[in-house]
Homo-oligomer: A and B are copies of this chain.
Amino acid sequence: MVQIAIDAMGGDHAPRAVIEGAGEALARYPRISKLLLTGPQALIESELERIGLKGDERLEIVHTEQVIGMHESPAAAIRAKPRSSIAVAVELVKDGRARGLVSAGHTGAAVASTVLKLRTLPGIERPGIATVFPSPTGSFLLLDAGANVDGKPKHLAQYAVMGEIYAREILRVPSPRIGLLNVGSEAGKGNEQAKQAYDILSAMNGINFVGNIEGRDLFNDTVDVVVCDGFVGNVVLKCCESMAKAFRDFLRNLLSKNPLRMTGALMCKGAFDEFRTLSDYAEYGGAPLLGVNGACIIGHGSSSPVAIRNAIRVAMEAVEHHLNEHIITRVRELGIASTAKSGNRAERDRQCGAAAAP
């Protein structure tokens, strides 16, 4: 049985979409014993009333008035608002009242407060945001998607291990193929960071490292896990989202240009619906922040109730599958555990300023 904290005020459509998503998750996943909703009590209660869940014993409201806006500076916001809805959700995990948390709010603030309060796992220096990318042949996992924009080569190696475990335990890929995102496929390609990361990854016996992959391999079913620096990963993620949406809109305009096309498009409606479902990133289930103590899932800012429900499922599965325990064991096994004391202060301070935009 799993308890999960939910930042009820996180996201463009909060609290409405978050609370609807929480309700859907409760209905669908009986293994969730409780969802703890953080935010203003009265507001959350009125939303719960609207969907007929006020008083549900598997829901608990943890009141707080403070909310971090999408355009606040993460470091300043977590200092100025120690009782923000995201900070309170993190506290619930720290205090053991929840095993994981979901927030579709300010990504930078979520990363910073999670790292500050929960600290990184033993052996892991920096957490990474792992994002599932839809692809016509299935999907692939990319990390880091923006937790850490000045990643060192050893951080990239740690992402590889965390990505491997996530792909194996949650996405059910038996022996995940891991690729390093680079500008060419041969060894020796790339900038200094990529060259050194390649050397570390090549020397790691036991992982299925297929070598460098290029941007053109991403949607080709070449790998299951794509490892890259958080700067590159964040740009790639947002760029793919934006391109998918722009091309859907463009196609829609082309199809409404004349009555013949409009009739034809109606006949193909099923195909376009499937296309949209595959290519709409906002529908996906949230990205785990791997490498911290707790199952922390970061939802897309424009998360729908379905996306929130999926994010809650991901948090639940991460807990049930003992994801973090697997990661700790695996980094030790592979001999790439950081020797630095986990979550030391200077490291945490750097981390707080590093996260990408929400």
Contact = CB atoms under 8 A, between A and B. Distances in A.
A109 B159 CA distance: 33
Contacts of A239: 215-216, 218, 236, 239-240
Interface string A54-87: 0000000000000000010100000000000000
Main secondary structure of the interface of A (DSSP, over half): helix
Interface stretch (A21-29, A32-40, A256-264, A285-293): A256-264
A302 to B, nearest CB: 11
Stoichiometry, copies per complex: 2
B267 A271 contact: no
A243 B279 CA distance: 10
Interface in A313-358: 356-357
B136 A249 contact: yes
A267 to B, nearest CB: 3
Interface string A264-286: 11111011101100110000000
Interface residues of A, number: 69
A261 B250 contact: no
A242 interface: yes
A255 B268 contact: yes
Nearest to A268: B264
A278 B247 CA distance: 9
Contacts of A274: 254
Contacts of A45: none
A173 interface: no
A130 interface: no
A103 to B, nearest CB: 17
Contacts of A214: 234-235, 238, 357
A184 interface: yes
A260 B254 contact: no
A3 to B, nearest CB: 33
A289 to B, nearest CB: 15
A183 B235 contact: yes
Interface string A226-247: 0010111011111111111111
A149 B186 contact: no
Interface of A: 71, 73, 108, 135-136, 146, 149-150, 181-186, 188-192, 194, 214-220, 228, 230-232, 234-247, 249-251, 253-255, 257, 260-261, 263-268, 270-272, 274-275, 278-279, 356-357
11 contacts: A73-B186, A108-B184, A136-B253, A149-B190, A184-B356, A194-B231, A231-B232, A243-B243, A247-B275, A261-B270, A264-B268
